[in-house]
Amino acid sequence: MSIDFQNFTPYASLIGGVMIGLAALLLMLAHGRVMGVSGILGGIVMPSGKSDIGWRILFVIGMLAGPFAVIHLLDRPVDIMPAASGMILPVAGFIVGLGTAIGSGCTSGHGICGLARLSPRSLVAVGAFMATGIATVFLVRHVM
């Protein structure tokens, strides 16, 4: 292992991470909801009641707008370089949706929110998706 210092962005990543943590905190403080994106989206795809959809759609609208605040207010470019191409991307998308529905959470719900609550369940989930994520990138980049 060697450190990729060329792409290392400790300050921007730490500040961005704190903003993500504050958003999770504010959603709990203001609305009593866990900021788990797979759960929020799941409730749009398979609603459990009419009154439960509105806040989810508003949250997604905010999520779509947020990056433009970074580009136009902070005057910072937001780099997006794909890691996969062709059929791999839609297959990956399906697996992400399926896995987070079965495992009841993703990087935000289990990672940012569950770990902050010291939930053993979320710690197991984070360990599992980090392990298979690292294994998958190892296979794709160094074996195949």
Partner 1 sequence: MMRHISIILIGALFGAGLALSGMLNPSKVAGFLDLFGTWDPSLAFVMGGGVVANFIGHRIVMRRPGPVFASGTAGFRIPVNNAIDSKLVIGSALFGIGWGLGGLCPGPAISSLLLAPGDAVLFVLMMLAGLAVGRMLTSGPAATPAAQA
Site for partner 1 in 54-73 (CB under 8 A): 54-55, 58-71
Contact 27, 33 (CB under 8 A): yes
The residue from 50, 75, 82, 144 that contacts partner 1 (CB under 8 A) is 82
Residue 99 Cα to chain centre, angstroms = 13
1 binds partner 1 (CB under 8 A): yes
> Residue 86 CB, nearest distance to partner 1 (Å)?
11
Helices (H), 6-119: 10-31, 37-45, 54-72, 88-102, 115-116
List of long-range contacts for 51-60, beta carbons under 8 Å, 24+ apart: 55/31, 59/27
The residue from 8, 50, 75, 144 that contacts partner 1 (CB under 8 A) is 8
Between vectors from CA 82 to CA 79 and to CA 88, what angle results, nearest 5°?
A: 160
3-class SS of residue 88 = helix
50 binds partner 1 (CB under 8 A): no
Question: Binding marks (x or -) toward partner 1, 90..129, rule CB under 8 A?
Answer: xxxxxxxxxxxxxxxxxxxxxxxxxxxxxxxxx-xxx-xx
> Residue 50 CB, nearest distance to partner 1 (Å)?
13
Q: With respect to partner 1, which residue has the nearer C-beta, 32 or 50?
A: 32
